[in-house]
Each structure stands twice: as structure tokens, then as C-alpha cells.
Structure 1
């Protein structure tokens, strides 16, 4: 299988613990023995700290986005160091570069790409571009709930949902002040648009990440630590490989303008 993994910075880079990076590197190494693997790393607490400092000094939001992107790439660089010879040595800065890197047979690791897009959105676009078999969003949340479980004790967890259902849930959660959705709205839209199979899972234990992706990804049986997002497909597309084409059918999503507009609407509501 061709798998794109969005690895949250909050679980990968917590306290910048070298042992944590090495444990995730071992997990990714094991996964790559069975699957073709590309990883997009998040920024985590360090990105939030740097962005907060920039805002306090009057930086505009685009500048803050670029700062966040740089932090995600620093985390990518650390993970590449932990993977050693099993990693592609360079960090792709766009989707065609990631596609070319994939042909090396190594684990490809990258960070953010476009201002206004989270690394979840970057991973979703990458999965669409490569026509991946599975997008995995590895986070500290054990799946998708009917509402934010941190704010609503009656929230119900789903074992499997459709992309359309995911969008409805995400947008409802995002409309509520103080609530946080398990999937970025832009990523959810891309999952729905290209009918991606996806998994949202609690990956704070790297060994569990290996167990689920290597053991359950093909059959998508219910798991306690996550939610499967499955779509009906009319046709199975071949993996893109290294051929270079425009990486999104919709140029507004490709260049980030649509996600920037969505971000601006959310900021206006706040």
C-alpha cells in the first residue's frame, strides 16, 4: 500500500525528546518494510510558541504561517536524522518533489508547504496527488466523535464514517467557540473531494501505529484507538509515481487561496 502519514507535532516533538523521535523512527521503519510511506510532520508546541511570539511583535498572519512551516520542517529534519539511511535525505518543498523522492524507496519526510494550510491539509493534498491507498492522521485523539469530547461529555465516537459525514461533524465543531475538531476542515474537504480512505487515530504509542497500519489497514476492522473514513469509489486509480502533473484539480485548493479564505472566515468569527 501507498500510505501518507500526517504525524502530529504534539506527539512527535513533545519536549524535543530525542528518544521519542527515535521510537517513532523505529515505528516508521517497520511500516516502510511493508508499505510505501511518506510522512508529513506537524509543528507542535514549538510552532505555537514561535507563532505566539511573532504575533506579540506585530507580525502578520502570513509571516506567522511561514514561521510555522519552518518549524514543521525542523521537526522533519530531526525525524530524518532519527531514521538515518532509511530516510530520503532531503525535505521536499512541494508535491512533485515528494513524488520524485518516493521513487528512492526510502521513507520520505516533509513539513508544511503553503501558508494557510495545516500539515493535515498538506498530507491530504499529498495523498490525493499520489493517489495514495490510505491517509493516516496520527494525533493524540482516539478518533472522530459526534462533537468535541472535551466540551461535550455525551459525544459519541464513530468506528467508521463517510467523508461527507466527516465534513458535517468538522464544520459543526469548528463553529463552536473553544471546540477543536479532530481533522482540519481543509483536509476533510480534500478527503471528501477525492474519495480518500483515511484513518484518524491516537498514535501517542508508536508501537500501536505499527500494529494498526500493518495489521488492520487492509481490512479496516473497528479499532479502539481510531476512526476509519471510507468512501465508495467508482474506479481505482493507479498511483501517480514520479510523473509531474498539476497536483490538484481545483487550483484554488492547490495554491492555498481557498484554505486562506476559510482561515480568514474562522478568524472573523473569533
Structure 2
């Protein structure tokens, strides 16, 4: 199975703890024994701090985006270092490079690519480009809810939803100031247009990520720590 994993910077690199990078590396190494794996790393707190500093200096949003992209690529290099010889030695700068790197048999690790796109969107586009079997968005949220659970105590978590319903939920959440959507709108639209099988899951525990992708992912069944986005009945 070909898996594209969007690994959020908020869980991978929130404090640049080397032990955390090594734990995720061990899990990814085990997953790669059974599946072809490409990982897109997020920027996390470091990216936000750099972007805030740039804005305070008067930088335009495109410049801020490029700064964020550089941070995601630094996180990718750290993860590749933790993977050692199991990682492809270069960080792909675009989708074609990632496709070529995949043929090496190594774990491909990359960061952002285009201004205006989150790494979730990059991972979704990469999954579409490679015709991946599964897109996994590994984050600190345990799935997709009917509304933002941080703002609405009556929010209901879904075990499985369609791409169309995901877009409706994401757009409603994104329009409310201060709300946080588990999937950004661009990624949601990519998932819809190419009918990707996707999983949004809480991956703050590296071992749980390994368990789900090694077992549940191949069964296409609901998981308690996440939400399946699929057109399958």
C-alpha cells in the first residue's frame, strides 16, 4: 500500500525534542517495512514564531509563507536525520522530485512547496499525484467533528464521512474566528476531487500511529482515534 502521511509540526516538533523525532522515526521505519511511505512534515510552533516575527517587521504574506516552508523543510531534515539510512537523503522540493525519490525504496520526507498551501494540502496533492492508496493526516485532534469541539460542547465526532460532508464541515468551521479545523479547505477539496481515502487521526502517541497504519488502515475500518473520509459504503 502507498501511504502519504501529513505529520503535523505541532506533534512532531513542538519543542524540538530529539527523543520525539526518534520515536516517530522508529514507528515510520516499521510502517515502511510493509508499505511505501512518503511523509510531509508541518512547521509547528517554530514556523508560527518565525512568521509572527516576519509580519512584525512588515513582511508580506508570500514572504511569510516562504519562511514557513523553510521551517517545514528543516523539520523534514531533522526527521530524515532521525531515520538515518532508511530515509531518502534529499528533501524533495516538488512533486516530481518526490515521485522519483519514492522509487529508491527509502522513506521520502519533505516539507512545504507552494506559498498559500498548508502541508496538509501538499500531502493531499502529493497523494493525488502519486495515486496513493491512503492519505493520513496525523494531528493533535482525534478526528472530524460536526463543529469545533473547542467551541461547541455538543459537537459530534464522526467515525466515517464523505468528502462532500467534510468540505461542508470545514468551511463552516473556518468561517468562525478563532475556530480550528482538523483539515484545511484546500486539502478537503483535493480529497473530494480525486476521491482519496483519507484518515484524520490523533497521532500524539507515535505508537498509536504505527498501530493504526499497520493494522486498521489496511482494513478500511473506523478507528476510535480518528475519522475515515471515504466514498466507500
Q: Same fold (TM over 0.5)?
A: yes
Corresponding residue number in structure 2 for 1:237 = none
Corresponding residue number in structure 2 for 1:223 = 223
With structure 2 as the length reference, what TM-score do the two structures score?
0.99
User: Does residue 110 of structure 1 match 2:140?
Assistant: no
Contact 1:117/1:186 (<8 A) preserved = yes
- Report SS of the residue matched to 2:200: strand
Corresponding residue number in structure 1 for 2:71 = 71
Paired with 2:23 and 2:232, the residues of 1 have a C-alpha distance of 35
Q: Structure 1 unaligned runs (5+)?
A: 234-270
Contact 1:195/1:232 (<8 A) preserved = no
Corresponding residue number in structure 2 for 1:166 = 166
Paired with 2:190 and 2:221, the residues of 1 have a C-alpha distance of 23
Paired with 1:219 and 1:40, the residues of 2 have a C-alpha distance of 23
User: Does residue 186 of structure 1 match 2:186?
Assistant: yes
Paired with 1:47 and 1:141, the residues of 2 have a C-alpha distance of 19
Report the alpha carbon displacement of residue 222 of structure 1 after superposing the two structures with TM: 1.9
Corresponding residue number in structure 2 for 1:19 = 19
Paired with 2:27 and 2:204, the residues of 1 have a C-alpha distance of 12
Q: Structure 2 unaligned runs (5+)?
A: none
Report the alpha carbon displacement of residue 232 of structure 1 after superposing the two structures with TM: 4.7
Paired with 1:173 and 1:11, the residues of 2 have a C-alpha distance of 22
Corresponding residue number in structure 2 for 1:89 = 89
Paired with 1:209 and 1:190, the residues of 2 have a C-alpha distance of 23
Report the alpha carbon displacement of residue 220 of structure 1 after superposing the two structures with TM: 2.0
- Report SS of the residue matched to 2:106: coil
With structure 1 as the length reference, what TM-score do the two structures score?
0.85
Corresponding residue number in structure 1 for 2:130 = 130
